[in-house]
Amino acid sequence: SDCVPLAADLNDLVSSAGPDSGSFCYFFVDPNCSTAGDFFHVGYPGVSDLSKTPVDGPAGSTRNFEDKLSSYFCVNE
């Protein structure tokens, strides 16, 4: 799956994340889906409030991701 950069009107402004049914997505605080910064993964129905913790993810289980995301990619489950 290809990395999708968030457009300027969404970059660092996302407060929820919800993949389509049957999809699993990775969300990144850095551009280009870089794992150098924090990221998390989530399946359907997603996370309705990214200001709450924990959010599932290798580095993100105790982090707040509200207004921090810059890129994502999704795969079919």
Q: What is the pLDDT of residues 27-74, one digit of tens each?
A: 999 999 999 988 888 899 988 888 876 665 555 455 788 899 999 999
pLDDT of residue 1: 74
Under the banding of pLDDT at 50, 70 and 90, the label for residue 19 is very high
pLDDT of residue 49: 86
User: What predicted TM-score, i.e. pTM, was given to this entire model?
Assistant: 0.85
pLDDT of residue 62: 58
Residue ranges of domains in the chain, CATH in brackets: 1-77 (2.60.20.10)
pLDDT of residue 73: 96
SS3 31: helix
At residue 31, φ and ψ (nearest 5 deg) are -70, 165
CA nearest to 74, candidates 9, 8, 20, 10 = 20
